[in-house]
A and B are shown apart, each in its own frame.
Chain A
Amino acid sequence: DSGVTQTPKHLITATGQRVTLRCSPRSGDLSVYWYQQSLDQGLQFLIQYYNGEERAKGNILERFSAQQFPDLHSELNLSSLELGDSALYFCASSVGPGSGRGAGELFFGEGSRLTVL
Chain B
Amino acid sequence: GNSVTQMEGPVTLSEEAFLTINCTYTATGYPSLFWYVQYPGEGLQLLLKATKADDKGSNKGFEATYRKETTSFHLEKGSVQVSDSAVYFCALEEDSGAGSYQLTFGKGTKLSVIP
Q: Select the stretch in A14-22, A63-71, A77-85, A104-112 that faces chain B.
A: A104-112
If A104-B93, A105-B49 touch, whether A99 touches B43 (CB-CB below 8 Å) is no
**Interface of A (DSSP majority class):** loop
Give the residues in chain B near A92, CB-CB below 8 Å: 43-44
CA A49 to CA B107, docked complex, whole Å: 24
Say yes or no: is B96 at the interface (Cβ < 8 Å to chain A).
yes
Please encode chain A, from 40 to 58, with 1 for each CB lying within 8 Å of some chain B CB and 0 for all others.
Answer: 0011010010100001101
Shortest C-beta distance, A63 to chain B (Å), equals 22
Give the residues in chain A near B108, CB-CB below 8 Å: 42-43
CA A56 to CA B104, docked complex, whole Å: 13
Q: Say yes or no: A104 contacts B103, CB within 8 Å.
A: yes
Please encode chain B, from 9 to 53, with 1 for each CB lying within 8 Å of some chain A CB and 0 for all others.
Answer: 000000000000000000000001010000001111110010110
Nearest neighbor of A106 in chain B, beta-carbon distance: B103
Q: Say yes or no: A105 contacts B41, CB within 8 Å.
A: no
List 9 additional A-B contacts (Cβ < 8 Å) besides A56-B102, A101-B32, A101-B93.
Answer: A42-B106, A42-B108, A98-B101, A99-B101, A101-B51, A101-B101, A102-B51, A104-B91, A105-B46
Interface residues of B (CB under 8 A from A): 32, 34, 41-46, 49, 51-52, 89, 91, 93, 96-108
Interface residues of A (CB under 8 A from B): 2, 4, 35, 42-43, 45, 48, 50, 55-56, 58, 90, 92, 97-111
A-B contact pairs, 13 of them (CB 8 A): A4-B43, A43-B108, A55-B98, A56-B98, A56-B102, A92-B44, A98-B100, A98-B102, A102-B93, A104-B46, A104-B49, A108-B44, A109-B43
